[in-house]
Amino acid sequence: MGWTERVRRGRAGAMVLLAGALLLALPACEYPGVPHPLAAQVEGKGSSGPPAQAAPAPGKEPPASGQNPGQSSPGPAVLQGTVTVALKDFKLDPDQLTVKQGAVTFVLKNEGRYTHDFRVEGQGLDEKAPKVGQGRTSEWQIDLSPGAYKISCPISNHADRGMNGELTVVP
């Protein structure tokens, strides 16, 4: 291969690299229900809204009234007020929740690479929180009546890939 051919190939390779870099630098587009994998990176990292307050870690809740500290609780802890849910690729953590009826504030922390969402369905209710970009945290409040609900990420096929769970609301 002669000098001219090497220069031509080197320029072609540089053009391919430059074109790839330009494509990555363009703002990410998102079709309804189909997130672009780089969209959250373009949006930037940070938190929208006030800083989140973490819910008690599972198994660390104080004992319910009338229960001895040494006893293990028969079921999941009943949370009240503020509940933190991590949105991961592709899992809700926790995916089983029990809360008291009334106003519940969900602190939604996107710990995944993709934009996620949070939906509560059941008891005649079908409500969806605003989308949460990568690395962001959002608070969403909803008023819940006693009963069983389905929770999920309604974006694209995220629920089918494992981002779903159950929410039980008790009086």
> Residue 167 pLDDT > 90, yes or no?
yes
Distances (CA, A) of 43 to 115, 131, 171: 10, 12, 40
Eight-class DSSP state of 35: -
- pTM passes above 0.75: no
Q: For residues 85 and 17, what is the distance between their CA atoms, to the nearest angstrom?
A: 40
pLDDT of residue 77: 75
75 exposed, middle or buried (CB, 10 Å; 0-12, 13-18, 19+)? Answer: exposed
Positive or negative, the CA dihedral 53, 105, 83, 70 is: positive
* Contact status, residue 46 vs residue 135, Cβ threshold 8 Å: yes
Per-domain residue ranges for the chain?
A: 1-56+75-171
Among 31-35, 77-81, 111-115, 133-137, where is mean pLDDT lowest? 31-35
Higher-confidence position of 139 and 23: 139
What confidence tier does 60 reach under pLDDT thresholds 50, 70, 90?
very low
* Contact status, residue 44 vs residue 27, Cβ threshold 8 Å: no
User: Residue 9 contacts by C-beta under 8 Å, 6 or more apart in sequence?
Assistant: 1
Burial of 118-151, coded b for 16+ CB within 10 Å and e otherwise, reads bbbebeeeeebbebbbbbbbbbbebebeeeebeb
Mean pLDDT of the chain: 74
Assigned architecture for domain 1-56+75-171? Sandwich (2.60)
pLDDT of residue 80: 75
Quote helix, strand, coil % in the chain, to nearest 5. Answer: 15, 35, 50
Q: For residues 35 and 155, what is the distance between their CA atoms, to the nearest angstrom?
A: 8
pLDDT of residue 14: 64
Higher-confidence position of 42 and 129: 129
